Amino acid sequence: MIYLNNVSKTYPNGTVGIKPTSLSIEKGEFVFITGNSGSGKSTLLKLMLKEIEPTHGKISINNKEITKLRRRQVPYLRRDIGVVFQDFRLLPNKTVYENVAFAMQVVQATNKEIRRAVPVVLGLVGLAKKARCYPHELSGGEQQRTAIARAIVNNSPILIADEPTGNLDPATSWEIMTLLQDINLRGVTVIVATHEREIVNVMKKREIEVNSGMIVKDIYEEGYEDEMEYHQVPL
């Protein structure tokens, strides 16, 4: 479902974000991306979202080679991938309902489709009673639930979360991770970049650890450790 083939990224100022890396993530997986600050986690996610272009290599998402997509085709990629950020990024002047509805308006859903889908997804994230609230009237966890609702309302097959619990207390972080796990159980491929070592250890999902722009560890649920040679393509 997500394939990186010998992908590297050097930023214009010469900083190496990712060294040549190959990686595959299959449909329905739940994957943690871990690593120290500056190791390259966000670079990896931004490459998958086509926010930045690789210096070398090919990336395909859902059978489309995104490195070949033109800028004006990027909105189609956005339909395949919902995104959640550490700082929620909700629209402050819109209610919970309107924030989620807006994501559907952007992809030209009809009013009927919006009226049907938004309450369902708000129920799924446990926010049915907060639909009329504005973001400033919500707790951090509720704001992140709203952001997750917005990310999944268009039925994207992939959900990418960059430090989704970075601004939340430990109990709320667990609630959010549990929600992401529920969404994964509904068939969505979920990729989460995180620093939360305890959560990663307890949830026992596939973990891809990045260090200095290289994948240094790739451990699957069953404890199977992939061959490092496969991922570290020599320069």
Contact positions vs ligand ATP (CB under 6 A) = 11, 13, 15, 17, 35, 37-43
118, 100 Cβ separation under 8 angstroms: yes
Give the DSSP letter of residue 224: P
For residues 35 and 54, which CB has a smaller minimum distance to ligand ATP in the complex? 35
For residues 180 and 193, which CB has a smaller minimum distance to ligand ATP in the complex? 193
Q: How far is the CB of 168 from ligand ATP (least distance, A)?
A: 16
181, 215 Cβ separation under 8 angstroms: no
Q: How far is the CB of 49 from ligand ATP (least distance, A)?
A: 13
Q: How far is the CB of 110 from ligand ATP (least distance, A)?
A: 38
Q: How far is the CB of 62 from ligand ATP (least distance, A)?
A: 23
Q: How far is the CB of 23 from ligand ATP (least distance, A)?
A: 15
For residues 56 and 64, which CB has a smaller minimum distance to ligand ATP in the complex? 56
For residues 124 and 161, which CB has a smaller minimum distance to ligand ATP in the complex? 161
For residues 5 and 194, which CB has a smaller minimum distance to ligand ATP in the complex? 194
For residues 14 and 92, which CB has a smaller minimum distance to ligand ATP in the complex? 14
Q: How far is the CB of 38 from ligand ATP (least distance, A)?
A: 4
**Tokens 């943690």 belong to which residue?**
32
* HEC letters along the chain: CEEEEEEEEECCCCCEEEEEEEEEECCCCEEEEECCCCCCHHHHHHHHCCCCCCCEEEEEECCEEHHHCCHHHHHHHHHHEEEEECCCCCCCCCCHHHHHHHHHHHCCCCHHHHHHHHHHHHHHCCCHHHCCCCHHHCCHHHHHHHHHHHHHCCCCCEEEEECCCCCCCHHHHHHHHHHHHHHHHCCCEEEEECCCHHHHHHHCCEEEEEECCEEEEEECCCCCECCHHHHECCC
Q: How far is the CB of 39 from ligand ATP (least distance, A)?
A: 4
191, 44 Cβ separation under 8 angstroms: no
For residues 138 and 159, which CB has a smaller minimum distance to ligand ATP in the complex? 159
